[in-house]
Amino acid sequence: MSVFGEIFERNFPDQDLEELASVALKAFCKIARDNLTVANEKCPTGNSDLQKWFTDDK
């Protein structure tokens, strides 16, 4: 088990690690999308491939 897995298991013993990982990934993607929005406002010719990856609803 990874160090992060051990920390989650110790701090959230009743939670499913897969569920926690899913929540963490959603939070990371939200932060990344927000940062990408700010970056696009400052540099409108930003990386369109990166923007597509974060904004696709697949």
**12 occurs within a structural domain:** no
Domain contains 54: yes
Domain tally, the chain? 1
Q: Residue for token digits 């929005």?
A: 37
What's 15's DSSP letter?
S
Is position 7 within any domain? no
pLDDT in tens, 1-58: 578 778 777 887 777 878 878 888 888 888 888 887 777 676 666 556 666 666 665 4
Please report, for the chain, how many H helices and E strands are present, in that order: 3, 0
Q: What is the Cα–Cα distance from 14 to 33, expressed in whole angstroms?
A: 30
Q: pTM above the 0.85 mark?
A: no
